[in-house]
C-alpha cells in the first residue's frame, strides 16, 4: 500500500469504529394530539340540545308538546297597512276571524312557553295577546317599539326588537317589566335574530346598515358588529337562521339577492349563496334537511340543503311576493304571506306546487301557523326547538 494512501485509510477506519461505538440518537417522541376544545356549557335554564347534529330535532313532524295540546289549529295573519289580524282555518282555507287592533301589525309571535301568541304593533308601541285555545285576542299592553319579538332560550327574557329606536329592550316575559335596554346605534334596521346552539349568543340583523350585531344573551351586552362583504343599506340583511348542526348562520340579504353564510361562532362571513331577487324569509322543513328561502321580489322560493346550502330546486309563485310564514306541524305545507299582493300562499312541500291562494287584507306580513312542534319558542313567526 502506498505510504500516501495508508494514513487516509487508517483515518477512515478509526472514524467508522467511533461511529459504531457512539450511542444511537434518542427517538423523537410523537407529537401529542391537540386537546379537543372544551364544550361551552349551555345557557343555564335552557332545555338541553338532544341531538348536536340537529338542534331542531324536538320540532319534528307531529312532535306537539303538552303546552299546545289544546291549541286551535289556525293561521294568524297580521297586516301592516290595515291594522288587522285575520285568522284562517288551515283545514278549509276559510277566513274565520278578523280583529281590528290598529297600528302597524308586523308579526304574530309565540311566547317561549307556547301558551300565548302576541301580535306586535311597532307604531302603536303595544302587544296584543291571543289565546291559542280560542284564537281570540285579549287586552293590549304597552311594549317599546315591538317591530319583532324574540325570547331568550332560557325563557327568562322577552326581547322587543325596537327597529325605530335602534334598541333591544329586554322584558320579564311574565310581568313585562323592563330588565335591560341595549342601545344598538350602529345597527340601523335591527329586525331579525337567531341563537347559537348553546343559547349564549344571539345574532341580530341590521337591515339598513349592512351588518349584524352579536349579543351576549346572559349579560344583555353587545359583543361585536360584523359587516357583510357588501354592505347593502336599503334592504340589506333580513331573516337569519341557524343551520341544524350549528355550523353556520344563513342570513338573507334582499338587495344582494341571496344569502350570506356566517360561521357558527358569529365571527366572520364565510361565503355567499345566490337565491333570487329580494331574498327575505328563511324556514326549515320539519326534518330540518331543507331550508326554504322566500325571494320576495322574484316570486320564488329557493329550496336549499340546510346543512350545505346547496340549491336543491326553485319553486315559482306566479305574480307572487312571498314574505313571512312557516311550515305546518305535519310538515306537508308551507304557508307564506304575499306582502304586496293582499294574499296568503299555501305550497306543497312535496313538490312546491301552489295548493291555494287566499285573499286577505292590506299588507300581510309575519304570518304564524299554529300550533307548532317543539319544546319552546324563540319567537318571531314560530322558531321552535
Give 165-189 pLDDT, tens digit per residue: 999 999 999 999 999 999 999 999 9
Q: Provide the 10 A C-beta neighbour count for residue 364.
A: 30
- pLDDT of amino acid 39: 53
The whole-angstrom distance between residue 294's C-alpha and the CA centroid of its chain comes to: 14
Cα dihedral angle (71, 125, 282, 337), rounded to 10 degrees?
70
Name the 3-class secondary structure at 12.
helix
Per-residue pLDDT of the chain (385 residues; tens, 9 = 90+): 444 444 433 344 344 434 444 444 444 344 444 343 445 689 999 999 999 999 999 999 999 999 999 999 999 999 999 999 999 999 999 999 999 999 999 999 999 999 999 999 999 999 999 999 999 999 999 999 999 999 999 999 999 999 999 999 999 999 999 999 999 999 999 999 999 999 999 999 999 999 999 999 999 999 999 999 999 999 999 999 999 999 999 999 999 999 999 999 999 999 999 999 999 999 999 999 999 999 999 999 999 999 999 999 999 999 999 999 999 999 999 999 999 999 999 999 999 999 999 999 999 999 999 999 999 999 999 999 9
Question: What is the model's pTM?
Answer: 0.89
Q: How far is CA 83 from CA 124, 189, 361, 363, in A?
A: 10, 21, 9, 9
**What nine digits make up the cell of 16?**
467508522
Q: In what order do the strands lie in the sheet with 158-162?
A: 148-151, 158-162, 167-171, 178-183
> What is the DSSP secondary-structure string of 44-106?
TTSPPPS-TT-TTGGG-TT---GGGTT---EEEEEBTTT-EEEEEETTTTEEEEEEE--S-EE
What is the phi/psi pair of residue 225, to 5°?
-115, 145
DSSP bridge partners of 213: 204, 225
Q: Which residues contact 23 (CB under 8 A, 6 or more apart)?
A: none
CATH superfamily of this structure's domain 57-370: YVTN repeat-like/Quinoprotein amine dehydrogenase (2.130.10.10)
- pLDDT of amino acid 366: 98
For residues 331 and 16, what is the distance between their CA atoms, to the nearest angstrom? 80
> What is the DSSP secondary-structure string of 26-47?
PPPPPPPPPPPPPPPPPPTTSP
Structural contact between residues 144 and 160, judged by C-beta atoms closer than 8 angstroms: yes
Cα three-residue angle 170-171-176, rounded to 5 degrees:
160
Q: How far is CA 251 from CA 12, 201, 264, 274, 275, in A?
A: 73, 16, 12, 11, 12
Query: Residue 75: which of 86, 83, 62, 59 has the closest Cα?
Result: 86
For residues 250 and 284, what is the distance between their CA atoms, to the nearest angstrom? 11
- pLDDT of amino acid 41: 85
Amino acid at each position: 500500500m502506498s505510504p500516501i494512501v495508508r494514513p487516509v485509510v487508517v483515518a477512515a477506519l478509526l472514524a467508522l469504529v467511533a461511529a459504531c461505538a457512539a450511542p444511537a440518537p434518542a427517538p423523537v417522541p410523537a407529537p401529542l394530539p391537540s386537546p379537543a376544545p372544551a364544550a361551552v356549557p349551555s345557557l343555564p335554564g335552557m332545555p338541553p340540545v338532544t341531538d348536536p347534529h340537529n338542534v331542531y330535532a324536538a320540532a319534528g313532524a307531529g312532535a306537539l308538546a303538552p303546552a299546545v295540546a289544546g291549541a286551535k289549529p289556525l293561521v294568524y295573519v297580521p297586516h301592516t297597512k290595515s291594522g288587522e289580524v285575520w285568522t284562517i282555518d288551515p283545514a278549509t282555507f276559510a277566513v274565520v276571524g278578523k280583529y281590528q287592533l290598529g297600528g302597524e301589525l308586523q308579526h304574530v309571535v309565540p311566547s317561549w312557553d307556547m301558551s300565548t301568541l302576541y301580535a306586535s304593533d311597532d307604531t302603536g308601541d303595544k302587544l296584543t295577546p291571543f289565546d291559542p285555545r280560542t284564537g281570540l285576542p285579549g287586552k293590549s299592553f304597552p311594549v317599546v317599539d315591538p317591530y319583532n319579538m324574540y325570547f331568550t332560550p332560557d325563557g327568562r327574557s322577552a326581547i322587543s326588537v325596537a327597529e325605530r329606536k335602534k334598541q333591544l329592550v329586554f322584558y320579564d316575559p311574565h310581568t313585562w317589566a323592563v330588565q335591560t335596554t341595549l342601545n344598538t346605534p350602529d345597527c340601523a334596521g335591527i329586525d331579525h335574530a337567531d341563537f347559537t346552539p348553546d343559547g349564549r349568543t344571539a345574532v341580530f340583523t341590521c337591515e339598513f346598515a349592512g351588518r349584524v350585531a352579536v349579543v351576549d344573551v346572559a349579560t344583555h351586552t353587545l359583543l361585536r358588529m360584523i359587516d357583510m362583504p357588501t354592505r347593502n343599506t336599503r334592504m340589506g340583511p333580513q331573516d337569519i337562521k341557524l343551520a341544524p348542526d350549528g355550523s353556520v348562520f344563513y342570513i338573507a340579504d334582499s338587495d344582494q339577492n341571496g344569502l350570506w353564510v356566517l360561521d357558527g361562532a358569529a365571527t366572520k362571513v364565510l361565503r355567499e349563496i345566490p337565491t333570487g331577487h329580494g331574498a327575505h324569509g328563511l324556514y326549515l322543513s320539519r326534518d330540518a334537511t331543507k331550508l326554504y328561502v322566500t325571494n320576495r321580489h322574484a316570486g320564488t322560493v329557493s329550496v336549499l340543503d340546510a346543512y350545505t346550502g346547496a340549491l336543491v330546486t326553485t319553486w315559482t309563485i306566479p305574480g307572487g311576493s312571498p314574505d313571512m310564514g312557516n311550515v305546518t306541524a305535519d310538515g306537508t305545507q308551507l304557508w307564506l304571506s304575499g306582502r304586496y299582493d293582499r294574499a296568503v300562499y299555501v305550497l306543497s312541500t312535496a313538490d312546491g306546487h301552489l295548493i291555494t291562494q287566499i285573499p286577505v287584507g292590506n299588507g300581510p306580513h309575519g304570518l304564524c301557523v299554529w300550533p307548532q312542534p317543539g319544546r319552546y319558542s324563540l319567537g318571531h313567526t314560530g322558531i321552535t326547538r
